[in-house]
Amino acid sequence: MNVKRIIIIFLLFPFLSSCLTKESVEIGDIQELQIDAVERNTVYMRISLPIENPNKYKISIEEIHLDFSLDDDHLGTLSSNKKIEIPAQSKELHQFEMELELKNAFLGALSLVQQFSKKNAEVNIEGWVNAKALLVRKKIPVSKSQSYDWSDIEN
């Protein structure tokens, strides 16, 4: 590549990047929670969330790491390394395959059983999500609390 092209790219880059407005991505409440399996101290589940991406570019969620609590009982860490694509200018329901690593297998399982015997519980998640849009990667903090009706659970 010659020097003229490099200079032109550097001069045009601020103008091109200013055309890419960044609007907030909206994440709705849990629509579905499905437990697939329980093995030792790990619960494998799928969580469906509505996500609205008003931007003109897709966003890739590359990694998720969240502390998971039910009614103020910290159960463990939710994580996923499965890549999810959020299309540009979309409002869709997305399913995340997650693993809940229980901090204590016996107490965590006991707490889950107690929570399922209730009609509903307060679900709290806090942590971060690694996302990528265009050429930019970013670690995004997440903090969300929601009352969830266990009668809607599928297993």
Q: What is the CATH number of the domain that holds 140?
A: 2.60.40.10
Burial label, 58 (beta-carbon count in 10 A; 0-12, 13-18, 19+): middle
User: CA-CA distance, 47 to 38, in Å (whole number)?
Assistant: 15
Q: Does the residue 20 lie in any domain? A: no
Range of the domain at 86: 25-152
In degrees to the nearest 10, what's the CA dihedral of 86, 87, 89, 91?
Answer: -50
Establish if 15 belongs to a structural domain.
no
Written as tens digits, the pLDDT of the chain (155 aa) is 565 666 666 555 554 444 455 778 888 887 888 888 888 888 898 988 888 899 888 999 999 999 988 787 888 898 998 999 999 999 999 999 999 888 766 555 656 656 556 667 788 889 998 889 888 888 888 888 888 775 655 44
Cα distance between residue 81 and residue 61, in whole Å: 9
Question: The pTM is what?
Answer: 0.70
Assigned domain for 47 exists? yes
Domain count, the chain: 1
Any domain includes 10: no
